[in-house]
Structure 1
Amino acid sequence: MQGKNISDIIEKYLKEMIAEDERVEISRSDIASHFDVVPSQINYVIKTRFTIQNGYVVESKRGGGGYIRIEKVKLLDNIDILDTLINAIGDGLTQREGKAIINTLVLNDLITDNEADLVLASINKQTLAVGNKLLENEIRANIMVAILDHLRYKS
């Protein structure tokens, strides 16, 4: 696994577990022990790689009987997930976050590869270059929310 950092390795391991059941319940400390890392490393991987934008819902319970439940969701099967995604976008969206959402839409067959390319072009840094990063992120968020709203009400 030369060239991969520990976060990539942990992500791959968790995704392989999820591929078997589409839902996995893990103990943060058990996974940390397995990879000989601190539990905060597991938190980092889950917080950055298993987001709603990437098509995952994460539920966490801390304490003695604590767990982390990660579930791969099908966006079309659950309109509430689109609503959650819209709420997660908020007032601003980076290009990287936008790409993650678009990738999730393609993986869930909500948009085609060609449609994804068009959306990517519309939210690109160069396309939205108005000289104000906060404004660019706000415009990008507005574009993505409009697209998600359209998908939500599409029959």
Structure 2
Amino acid sequence: MQNHNMSDIIEAYLKKVLNRQEQIEIRRNEIAALFDCVPSQINYVINTRFTIQHGYLVESKRGGGGYIRIIKVQLLDESEFLDTMIEIIGESISQKDSQSIVTKLFEDQLITRREAKLILIAIDKSYYTMDNKAEKNMRARLMKSFLTNLKYEDPNEYGGE
């Protein structure tokens, strides 16, 4: 539980810095020292909470002068965002990554709370009786279909004017 709380603290710190600027460069060891944790804890936070699904791009350079750069993704429009998500999904996606995408769509007001709940139900692994690979492939097809549908939404569909 300590690691979970530390992850939340590190994430909050990095997001606070990112709220003031579009990108940051950090040194893993320096941040680990700041929070008195192991460097792998920093990797964990970055790899799980600063993904493209969460609206961040991460670049890194290894070696003595190495750094990790976290950039807030600035998408030009809704369509570009949806295209990026479709590309990231590829042929397979986990439930956790799908949930992150749905959360981002809701936070960015591209879907309603009700739509988010419906999508989360559709991608829930408890409904799939196939093997793990087939489940992830089916979820990817569903997610891409949802995203494509958002991209080309027809206002006249389902009784709209």
Normalised by the shorter chain, which TM-score bucket? Answer: 0.7 to 0.9
**Unaligned regions of 5+ residues in structure 2, if any?**
155-161
Match of 2:145 in 1: 146
Amino acid across the alignment from 2:148: D
**1:106: how far off?**
0.9
> Are the counterparts in 2 of residues 60 and 68 from structure 1 also a CA contact under 8 Å?
yes
Secondary structure of 2:125 counterpart:
coil
Measured in 2, the distance between the counterparts of 1:85 and 1:112 equals 18
**Unaligned regions of 5+ residues in structure 1, if any?**
none
Secondary structure of 1:144 counterpart:
helix
* Residues paired across the two proteins, number: 153
Q: Does 1:48 align with 2:48?
A: yes
Rg larger in 1 or in 2? Answer: 2
Secondary structure of 1:16 counterpart:
helix
Q: Structure 2 vs 1, CA of residues 57 and 81 (structure 1 numbering), >3 Å: closer, same or farther?
A: farther
> Are the counterparts in 2 of residues 75 and 108 from structure 1 also a CA contact under 8 Å?
no
What is the TM-score of this pair, normalised by structure 1?
0.81
**1:91: how far off?**
2.1
Amino acid across the alignment from 1:65: G
Over residues 29-68 of structure 1, what are the superposed CA-to-partner deviations in whole Å (9 max), with x where a residue is unaligned?
Answer: 2211101223222112101111111221112222343322
Measured in 1, the distance between the counterparts of 2:7 and 2:141 equals 31
Secondary structure of 1:130 counterpart:
coil
> Are the counterparts in 2 of residues 98 and 144 from structure 1 also a CA contact under 8 Å?
yes
